[in-house]
Structure 1
Amino acid sequence: MSPSSRTPASASTPSPLEQAPDLSITADDQVHLHAAGHNESAKGSLIHGMARFRSSPLDFIREVSLHMSGTGTGWRSYDHIIGQPIFYPGFSEEMKGRVLSNPMLVAKVRELAAKRVDVEAREGLLGEEARKGVDVGVGEKDRRDRRRIQIEESLMEVGEKLTDGMICKMESKSFIRGSYYLASQLLTRAYHQGVHVSSEEVLRLRSVAEQAAKDKHSIIFLPCHRSHVDYVSLQVICYRLGLGLPTVVAGDNLNFPVVGSFLQHTGAMWIRRSFGDDQLYTTLVQSYIDTLLQNGYNLECFVEGGRSRTGKLLPPKFGILSYMLDSVASGRVKDAIICPVSTQYDKVIEVDSYINELLGQPKPKENLMDFLSASSVLSLKLGRVDVRFHEPWSLRTFIDQQQARFSQLPQKLDLKDERLRILRTMGYKVLSEINDVSVVMPTALVGTVLLTLRGRGVGKSELIRRVEWLSERVRAQGGRVAHFASLPTSVVVERALEVLGSGLVGLVPDLPEETFYAVDRFQLSFYRNMTIHLFIHQSLVSAALYTTVKRGGAPANQRISYADLYAQVSFLSQLFRGEFIFPTEGLASNLAATLAGLEADNVVKLTRSPSTSPSSATATGNDVSYIELSDVERESGRENFDFYCFLIWPFIEAAWLGAVSLLLLTPPVLVDTETQTTAVRGPRWLNMKMVQDRAQLFGKTLYHQGDLSYFEAVNKETLKNTYQRFEEEGMVLVATSTTTTSSTSTSSPSPTSPSPSPPKKLPPTIRLADAWLPSRDPTSNAILATGPLWAFAERISASRREGKNRRDGGTVKSRVLGLAGLVAGGLWEEAVVGEQEDAVYRRCIHTM
């Protein structure tokens, strides 16, 4: 029985939210209402609107003037927004004054000034009596007070300059109108099928915004981050729907000439990528966040921090989130409204550059020329953008609920630990809710199908069948598929293929049926990763079952006991806990539900123990003795089982590569032939970046030699996550970066002190924990396949996809170990040189 003829037993009627009408914003200055999605009416209007300057210059100029003057409809004039007033002359200066007069900032400036005065007094800069700590006279006290006031004024001047460079400056309606017109035309020209939202979600958001405006509460939009277009799409939607534009927290790497000023006047708030130990700057950022939230201004912050280069959600970054949480938790702000947002694209403009970065090429610095070259997107047809809003919720209520939960714990938490737990729970709650409302785009459906097939290519009829099947599976898992209206699946697939282009999906010529194949599997994986979160449980169970299925033979030989399945699923879940978001119900409950769903869908067959009571067994899965593929699944060619395996295999490959790459950290040894003792030769610590670069080289070699099935397994992002996981498990030790200087004083240098030598930032270093160090052959110095590290890699390998070059375990073992030794040789030679250079530098700065 084929997947298309098997309706998933877990499928249910799509939720009313998915059936809600779809709204699209297009460049014809209209909001279109669709029964379900694709915008046929706007097919030609966008190109016509952008080409009007050539065909009718006077009409084009008139249209632009309408936007600049605000003549016409209410949205164009943007006069009656839902939110606090921001578009008036002097707004920036007023905001700056509020920030600089914030009690927290004033107190911090006084504290820093007082500490500096104490340092100068100890150094004798304020008089000998102050340095010795004796009672000071009136004259000495006056000098200290004058010096403190002088330092406070200096710090406030620094704070004013920093504030002016940080705060957004949305104070001109004409500028905002013109910016909206430019942004909407560029956006909807590149994404020619428009920007789509759910009418139900928009109505709910407007209702929440109206109440928030009355209560003077801010709405904090927390979107996922896949593209720089994320900023534009949310601002365009808020403008078009009459909501107060949010202040967007953005990294100052985008604050380059011309563009930085433009973005700052349309909502950008610039912050440093790293705050370091700068107490003044840290307090300044908190003061600005407090000021925005106290006055009910909307905010936008990307919960993942940076853009996802892999297509799936990244773990949450807690930097700016912690400032927002502290504003409310401390009571300085009464409440704020959290609104998770999902932004999905048919095609992401930056994917090409993402692939280069993931393969180890340095990220190019943003500049004006690259920004101007973005005009080339006008000639692209990238499909559509779908933006979905989760139901907003009160941050104050969330904090109260978490604190009440923690109060029930037998061991009370201190305030710091409690805040950290609330912050972590909040971050993962937002990510989970983003996943809940995310829409699977047609390109993601096609990309996923192409990367989960065993054959080289797929015929068009089969591709359409699999896209229909995958759409059903997405809905069965509670996910949502982009609205197709009444369009047949064949048309949807054709549109997706057109957007993906021949660079990603190829067409085999001169065949009886159109046959498509994946040209760039690495780049297509970006779109496949947009669906994996929906099937992560089935994928982990399938990967665990694969440990016995790949043995082949009779069905009885391929089944696995519940205990072994549970152990392998537990192992893989822990391995990927930084990669995926798992429910909080616990492994036993999640596994029982997953097995029940796979059994209902006729993917697996469960052998149950008759002695277990049904009531207790259903919830825990303990009534299951063995798991194996069902007869129906075998007859269908294991299509469903293979689909789940293909989703997770690239991540298993990446984890295995990360594990075997740790072999590179095995230090060379010297053997004393007389005493037969060994000693480590050279340093134990290695440069982290150097190690990860070598690990990528190691992986590329394994791929081209056939010992690694997926080239995407060498991607930088996944490898970095894997190493972080190994650090958490205590397998490796990591020393964070430090800065060396010639001065041991922590105070600011005085005018009379000698100039310090230039600081040198020492990069993070890494080494294997002693318990995980592999042994070396005393004769050949070769790494041996023994010990806990090799056993750990073998356990991952048990769930890897079997390849024709990997069936002989002994051959693979010798090949991998030999290559590890070869790659590690150069690594240790470079490390010795680097350590010698650092030692010379340290000696030099301590003798100055």
Structure 2
Amino acid sequence: MTGAVALPFWLVALLVVFAAIGIVDRVFAPSVRWFFRRRFNQAIDELNQRLDMRIEPFRLTRRQTLVDRLIYDPKVVEAVDAEAKASGTPRAVVMKRAERYAREIVPAFSVTTYFGFGIRAARRLSEFVYRVRLGYVDDDALKAIDPQATVVFVMNHRSNMDYVLVTYMASSRASLSYAVGEWARVWLLQNLIRSMGAYFVRRNSGDELYRKVLGRYVAMATQEGVTQAVFPEGGLSRDGRLREPRLGLLSYMVAGFDPRASRDVVFVPVGLNYDRVIEDRVLTAGAEKEISGRDFRVRLPALAGFVWNLVRLRLQGRLYRFGYACVSFGKPVSLAHWQKREQVDFTTADREALFVGIEKLGDDLIEAIAAIVPALPVALASHVFLESGERWMSEFELKSAVFGLIERLEGEGAHVHIPRADRDYAVGAGLRMLTLRHMVVMNDEWLYRANPDERLLLTYYANSIAHLLK
């Protein structure tokens, strides 16, 4: 029993390593985890004190826990059973599909990624591309929102930069959870987007099971107080005008809402506008091909050259950037108050009555967004050039027409962003942007008119304020 046992050196070394791992895991790791968890909770508390809309525990829950909670939600289980029965597919197979959908949808929010990287990147990118300005905002109304309410920012959708710009502009108030389309589901990018708290949406999906899983996730997040940002239009505007509301995500948020038993939902209208939308040529390509036969396609070498030219001009200090980007925050709309005023019942079993109520809510939110979309220099100048037709104008005539348009808009209660509070400078900034892009041409007598070949693009920018002039 006391005899020596000979072991190979490599086996002894392996045993020592495993023993060390066991000691660290059982003795040291719990205290280290406790230390970092305590520091993490302190950081969250400090963030919540700084933010107007606190980060709810739901967003900090482990992703796997949220996935499990979603796939075993009674309504998802009911949908799985119904699908299995209707299609004759084994229940386990349908359940596996529901789990795949849940993993696709549920984000993996990281406070470090969002506040340590995301907001800094959003600020630098926004300010690299645009002169970013805050338009109208009612601070008192925003601060008066019930801290227990779920806040949903609803905004018009003009560019994929909307995600970046609003994340930056709202960074002092809240961390936002976006619904992102399938375009962003590419390697590495999708992991970054998930860690920013966004969830992926298959637009126009006809899969009933998928819609049920998505709907239950959105409903859970809303009930748990997650601050969200949605685009009621559903997709990017291709003609510059506000689109009719798409009611999918909105219906998931409000269906079953009972002010006596549910957390209130407060919608904050957000209006965005740009002097230049980065993807404007892409968005108007279909209409351009129908009108002129010109086919615009994005080619990787041309895109790389475009980006490099921007960087080069910025390093040389000769980059005008893309003009102004402006964000306005409107008066919050409490769902409980709206429901009481409109006499709508979101708990009704009558699907037609429920749809009518949701449609009315969507129309009202689009109207609230439309009212605060800021009018920017390029949109103002584009409107005037289109109205002038083929007539050549001096800069003085242009300024006179734009000043009249500004007074008309302000008389209607619209927000007009006038850079540096100088109308002359505003017209000059808009004219410079249009001439640099050859949307407006100038003759030898220093007179200007719309470029006939670019009337579609001028219309696209003028349409961003068309609803303010009705």
Relative to the length of structure 2, the TM-score reads 0.78
Residues 252 and 272 of structure 1 are in contact (CA less than 8 Å); yes or no, is this contact kept in structure 2? yes
Matched, 1:355 2:292: no
Q: Could you say which residue in structure 2 is the equivalent of 1:317?
A: 246
Provide the C-alpha distance between the structure 1 equivalents of 2:242 and 2:138, rounded to a whole number of angstroms. Answer: 22
Q: Could you say which residue in structure 1 is the equivalent of 2:138?
A: 201
Q: Structure 1 residues 436 and 257, CA, compared in 2 at 3 Å: closer, same or farther?
A: same
Q: Could you say which residue in structure 2 is the equivalent of 1:424?
A: 359
Give the superposed CA RMSD: 3.3
Please report how far the alpha carbon of residue 306 of structure 1 lies from its aligned counterpart in structure 2 after TM superposition. Answer: 0.8
Matched, 1:103 2:74: yes
Provide the C-alpha distance between the structure 2 equivalents of 1:324 and 1:374, rounded to a whole number of angstroms. Answer: 39
Could you list the per-position Cα deviations for residues 429-454 of structure 1 after superposition, in whole angstroms to 9, with x for gaps in the alignment?
A: 11111121121111111111111114
Q: Structure 1 residues 527 and 181, CA, compared in 2 at 3 Å: closer, same or farther?
A: same
Q: Could you say which residue in structure 2 is the equivalent of 1:807?
A: none
Q: Structure 1 residues 332 and 254, CA, compared in 2 at 3 Å: closer, same or farther?
A: farther
Residue identity opposite 2:362 in structure 1: G
Q: Could you say which residue in structure 2 is the equivalent of 1:533?
A: 467
Instruction: Map 1:646-725; keep pairs closer than 5 Å.
Output: none
Residue identity opposite 1:447 in structure 2: S
Q: Structure 1 residues 486 and 341, CA, compared in 2 at 3 Å: closer, same or farther?
A: closer
Matched, 1:180 2:115: no
Residues 88 and 172 of structure 1 are in contact (CA less than 8 Å); yes or no, is this contact kept in structure 2? no
Q: Choose from 299, 317, 337 the match for 1:397.
A: 337
Please report how far the alpha carbon of residue 206 of structure 1 lies from its aligned counterpart in structure 2 after TM superposition. Answer: 3.5
Instruction: Map 1:95-244; keep pairs closer than 5 Å.
Output: 95-115=66-86, 119=88, 151-174=90-113, 176-191=115-130, 193-198=131-136, 200-208=137-145, 211-212=146-147, 215=148, 217-239=149-171, 241-243=172-174
Instruction: Map 1:2-21; keep pairs closer than 5 Å.
Output: none
Q: Could you say which residue in structure 1 is the equivalent of 2:373?
A: 438
Provide the C-alpha distance between the structure 1 equivalents of 2:302 and 2:97, rounded to a whole number of angstroms. Answer: 31
Provide the C-alpha distance between the structure 2 equivalents of 1:366 and 1:207, rounded to a whole number of angstroms. Answer: 49
Q: Choose from 290, 293, 297 the match for 2:219.
A: 290
Residues 435 and 441 of structure 2 are in contact (CA less than 8 Å); yes or no, is this contact kept in structure 1? no
Please report how far the alpha carbon of residue 282 of structure 1 lies from its aligned counterpart in structure 2 after TM superposition. Answer: 1.5
Matched, 1:91 2:30: no
Could you list the per-position Cα deviations for residues 742-767 of structure 1 after superposition, in whole angstroms to 9, with x for gaps in the alignment?
A: xxxxxxxxxxxxxxxxxxxxxxxxxx
Q: Could you say which residue in structure 2 is the equivalent of 1:707?
A: none
**Any stretches of 5+ residues in structure 1 without a counterpart?**
1-69, 121-150, 407-412, 537-848
Q: Could you say which residue in structure 2 is the equivalent of 1:658?
A: none
Q: Structure 1 residues 382 and 87, CA, compared in 2 at 3 Å: closer, same or farther?
A: farther
Q: Secondary structure at 1:343's aligned position in 2?
A: strand
Please report how far the alpha carbon of residue 533 of structure 1 lies from its aligned counterpart in structure 2 after TM superposition. Answer: 1.5
Residues 188 and 195 of structure 1 are in contact (CA less than 8 Å); yes or no, is this contact kept in structure 2? no
Instruction: Map 1:699-848; keep pairs closer than 5 Å.
Output: none
Matched, 1:458 2:390: no
Please report how far the alpha carbon of residue 292 of structure 1 lies from its aligned counterpart in structure 2 after TM superposition. Answer: 0.1
Residue identity opposite 1:482 in structure 2: H
Q: Choose from 181, 185, 198 the match for 1:268.
A: 198
Provide the C-alpha distance between the structure 1 equivalents of 2:459 and 2:127, rounded to a whole number of angstroms. Answer: 25
Q: Structure 1 residues 377 and 288, CA, compared in 2 at 3 Å: closer, same or farther?
A: farther
Provide the C-alpha distance between the structure 2 equivalents of 1:427 and 1:107, rounded to a whole number of angstroms. Answer: 28
Matched, 1:257 2:187: yes
Q: Structure 1 residues 285 and 377, CA, compared in 2 at 3 Å: closer, same or farther?
A: farther
Q: Structure 1 residues 375 and 337, CA, compared in 2 at 3 Å: closer, same or farther?
A: farther
Matched, 1:304 2:233: yes
Residues 344 and 439 of structure 1 are in contact (CA less than 8 Å); yes or no, is this contact kept in structure 2? yes
Please report how far the alpha carbon of residue 224 of structure 1 lies from its aligned counterpart in structure 2 after TM superposition. Answer: 0.4
Q: Secondary structure at 2:55's aligned position in 1?
A: coil
Q: Structure 1 residues 506 and 393, CA, compared in 2 at 3 Å: closer, same or farther?
A: closer
Relative to the length of structure 1, the TM-score reads 0.45
Residue identity opposite 1:463 in structure 2: L
Matched, 1:478 2:413: yes
Q: Structure 1 residues 373 and 204, CA, compared in 2 at 3 Å: closer, same or farther?
A: farther
Provide the C-alpha distance between the structure 1 equivalents of 2:455 and 2:372, rounded to a whole number of angstroms. Answer: 27
Residues 346 and 383 of structure 1 are in contact (CA less than 8 Å); yes or no, is this contact kept in structure 2? yes
Matched, 1:500 2:439: no
Structure with higher RCO (Cα < 8 A, 6+ apart): 2
Q: Could you say which residue in structure 1 is the equivalent of 2:36?
A: none
Residue identity opposite 2:409 in structure 1: V
How many positions carry a matched residue from both structures? 412
Provide the C-alpha distance between the structure 1 equivalents of 2:410 and 2:104, rounded to a whole number of angstroms. Answer: 46
**Any stretches of 5+ residues in structure 2 without a counterpart?**
1-38, 314-318
Q: Choose from 371, 374, 387 the match for 2:327.
A: 387
Provide the C-alpha distance between the structure 2 equivalents of 1:85 and 1:302, rounded to a whole number of angstroms. Answer: 22
Provide the C-alpha distance between the structure 1 equivalents of 2:384 and 2:344, rounded to a whole number of angstroms. Answer: 46
Provide the C-alpha distance between the structure 2 equivalents of 1:167 and 1:367, rounded to a whole number of angstroms. Answer: 32
Q: Secondary structure at 1:205's aligned position in 2?
A: helix
Q: Structure 1 residues 324 and 365, CA, compared in 2 at 3 Å: closer, same or farther?
A: farther
Residue identity opposite 1:252 in structure 2: E
Rg: which structure is higher?
Answer: 1
Q: Structure 1 residues 288 and 327, CA, compared in 2 at 3 Å: closer, same or farther?
A: farther
